[in-house]
Amino acid sequence: MKIVAGATTLILAVALFTQPAFAEGDADAGRELGYTCLGCHGIEGYRNAYPSYRVPKLGGQKAGYLELALRGYRDGTRKHPTMQAQATSLSDQEIADVSAYLASLGAETVAAGGTQGAEFDKALACTACHGPNGISINAAWPTLAGQHEDYIYNSIRQYKEGKRTDPVMGAQAQLIADEDIALLAKYFASLEGLETTRPE
Ligand code: HEC
Ligand code: HEC
């Protein structure tokens, strides 16, 4: 048990010190660009065609994480045909701006969701990074609280199967038992947090 805890601390320390620098995002500048995105991300329950899972909620998500995800799609380290097409022509500044804009929508719910505790014992392994209430403690890591259950489920499967790679989360996913994936997805989805962003 001690070794596992030590390893997590080490991963955490490495992750904290190797954060990439971010451009300063301007939410106002990102608004216009953001309208295209809401064509999918702004529709409650909108689905990815195959495999079928809901398009992730972005409202209240950490701006730094949105930037990392978009750069990942643009640079090909994160694969998804539709999102790669969306991100391909964006500059670093545009990515920072649209991330700041999308993160600014729904941020109040995330802030207000801070009272819920980790009541599911299997989720304790996640709280060091994703927060005791599913709200990330680090600007570059995703909030899970309120995210769509089927999207969370699919993401964990992708990490486990190596279809989505990340040095930190990839290693964590290997520690999640197959039978716990659905339980964890259900738990984090049930917490108050992220929202489907709607055009103002
Ligand atoms: C045609 C529908 C569609 C459009 C338009 C679209 N997205 Fe997406 N987006 C998706 C789908 C589907 C996923 C999930 C992909 C995956 O599983 O990796 C996604 C994932 C994302 C993610 C990753 C979220 C996470 O939690 O990891 C970000 C960030 C994102 N989109 C931002 C944007 C931005 C910014 C735009 C506009 C420039 C945009 N999207 C336009 C369908 C769309
Ligand atoms: C040591 C830190 C750490 C721990 C512990 C951790 N994660 Fe993560 N997790 C991350 C990071 C960093 C990312 C973003 C990786 C990326 O960019 O793909 C992530 C991404 C995710 C995503 C994708 C979110 C999205 O919006 O696409 C899910 C789902 C997830 N983690 C679930 C879990 C669960 C469930 C646990 C506990 C069993 C857990 N994580 C434990 C660091 C951690």
Longest dimension (CA), the chain: 50
Q: What gap in Å lies between CA 83 and CA 68, rounded to an integer? A: 13
Ramachandran bin of 162, using left for φ above 0, alpha for ψ from -120 to 50, beta for the remaining angles? left
The values of phi and psi at residue 55, to 5°, are: -60, 135
How remote is the CA of residue 142 from the centroid of ligand 2, in Å?
7
Atom of ligand 1 nearest to the CA of 155: 17
The closest alpha carbon to 22, from 72, 73, 76, 63, belongs to: 63
The chain-wide mean pLDDT, for the chain, equals: 86
- Atom 26, ligand 2: which residue's CA is nearest? 142
20 C-alpha to center of ligand 2: Å?
17
What whole-number distance in Å separates Cα of residue 137 and Cα of residue 70?
20
Average confidence (pLDDT) over 13-33: 71
d(CA 98, CA 26): 8
Confidence at 69, pLDDT banded by 50, 70, 90: very high
Q: What is the pLDDT of residues 96-119, one digit of tens each?
A: 999 999 888 876 767 665 556 667
Amino acid at 177: A
CA–CA distance, 160 with 179 (Å, rounded to integer):
13
**What is the rounded average pLDDT of the residues 4-12?**
52
Ligand 1: centre distance to CA 32 (Å): 16
Instruction: Say which residue the tokens 């609280």 belong to.
Output: 145
Contact between 152 and 188 (Cβ < 8 Å): yes
Region 138-145: what's the mean pLDDT?
93
Q: What is the structure's pLDDT at 154?
A: 96
Q: What atom in ligand 1 is closest to the CA of residue 158?
A: 17
Spatial separation of the C-alpha atoms in residues 97 and 23, rounded to whole Å:
9
Q: Does the pLDDT of residue 14 top 70, yes or no?
A: no
* Residue to substitute in 32, 53, 83, 147 for testing ligand 1 pocket (most ligand atoms within 8 angstroms of CB): 83
Residue 65's nearest CA partner among 135, 160, 151 is 135
Q: What is the pLDDT of residue 197?
A: 81
Burial tier of 162 (Cβ tally within 10 Å: 0-12, 13-18, 19+): exposed
Q: Looking at ligand 1, which atom is closest to the CA of residue 53?
A: 12
Residue 100: both structure tokens together: 């700041």
**What one-letter code names the amino acid at 141?**
W
Confidence grade of residue 175 (pLDDT, cut at 50, 70, 90): very high
